[in-house]
Structure 1
């Protein structure tokens, strides 16, 4: 009986109409997918090329100036971080109190000089760093009493001044021939052999001199 049904069922299936689905949408989807993959690869390769170009540029810059970053972070020199930068110059605030002549010599050993206070802007900068202490500056009347001079030859008469009221003067008949920043930032004349802190000043080093040479 089963054998008889099978041919009938087979014949019945063969008699039905088979529905074929169109293949066009499938090909379209495949084509779009391929196109997107190609675009993705192109974008990725473009980014890789851009990154490689930037890396080459950085490498070339470092080869030309291996200490360029240090120069921007420490304009007064990567190996002289105790120096502070202000308005195109570098300043050193001593941690030891010494006589004026020793302070002058200490600054010269560091290729600098005692600070020349020639503007209100510089005066304000120094006040913020020297308040409540006394600091020698590059001002004196050692050669002729009452004739004050700056170490760099700047014109004292027409230049900036910030003396305390009543200064410069002579106190208890002592020679006070050296200038200093007083505890409130104003100028005071004092005996040169007394101990005070000091401020050194030097011009901004160039990149070639601020970076140490490699062996």
Structure 2
């Protein structure tokens, strides 16, 4: 009996030791899993924070690029990378329309683009627009609507003391011809303002 009792106690002791070992193993596994989960959570939070910071920085850079172009961009496009349809000449930018309209509508169209109908006050500028217009008719910012025979540049440039390039015999004010355009070989002609032709807008080079 004593021997059998001893065997039983030994078996119970072994069973308890095995159970305790299993508990320790499970505890170790759960502890490792908990630590792993905590580490993953921390890494995930750090990653999200870094992604958010990078995204914010990229957004800031993108906004700066939209408003502050590089010097290379301005060398290639002096009138601004966002205004590539404008042409540069002598510190001014010029837009040559692709469609025809009346003088007043042309004036309004230029104003919508923060510009005005072209002022031709030098032979150099005349040569530039003359070459560019290729014998088509283009409105310029010259009119005598306010006072017949008193021609005025719409930006206030003094007409009487500046360059002119009228076609021979013009302006003749035939049929209330109060607006000027380029025609023929780029010479100026007066015509009624409701006539439809192309137009040239002018504005300063962006600061």
Cα deviation digits, residues 52-102 of structure 1 (max 9, x gap): xxxxxxxxxx99x65222111101010110000001110000000000000
Cα deviation digits, residues 124-175 of structure 1 (max 9, x gap): 000001122100000000011100000011111111000000000133xx11
Match for residue 140 of structure 1?
143
Deviation at 1:116, TM superposition (A): 0.3
Match for residue 105 of structure 1?
108
**Moved runs in structure 1, 4+ residues, more than 4 A?**
none
Match for residue 204 of structure 1?
205
Aligned 1:111-190 pairs, distance under 5 A: 111-171=114-174, 174-190=175-191
Secondary structure, aligned partner of 1:154: coil
Instruction: Specify whether residues 67 and 157 from structure 1 end up closer, same or farther in structure 2 by C-alpha distance, changes over 3 A only.
Output: same
Kindly indicate whether the alpha-carbon contact (under 8 Å) linking 1:180 and 1:188 is maintained by their aligned counterparts in 2.
yes
Provide the TM-score with structure 1 as the length reference: 0.64
Secondary structure, aligned partner of 2:109: helix
Write the distance in 2 (CA, Å) between the matches of 1:198 and 1:168. 19
> What CA RMSD, in Å, does the superposition of the two structures yield over aligned residues?
1.5
Secondary structure, aligned partner of 1:102: helix
Write the distance in 2 (CA, Å) between the matches of 1:168 and 1:138. 15
Kindly indicate whether the alpha-carbon contact (under 8 Å) linking 1:130 and 1:183 is maintained by their aligned counterparts in 2.
no
Could you tell me which runs of 5 or more consecutive residues in structure 1 were left unpaired when the two chains were aligned.
Answer: 1-61, 207-215
Corresponding position: 1:95 with 2:113: no
Kindly indicate whether the alpha-carbon contact (under 8 Å) linking 2:69 and 2:81 is maintained by their aligned counterparts in 1.
no
Match for residue 81 of structure 1?
84
Secondary structure, aligned partner of 1:184: coil
Could you tell me which runs of 5 or more consecutive residues in structure 2 were left unpaired when the two chains were aligned.
Answer: 1-63
Match for residue 56 of structure 2?
none
Greater fraction helix: 2
Cα deviation digits, residues 23-59 of structure 1 (max 9, x gap): xxxxxxxxxxxxxxxxxxxxxxxxxxxxxxxxxxxxx
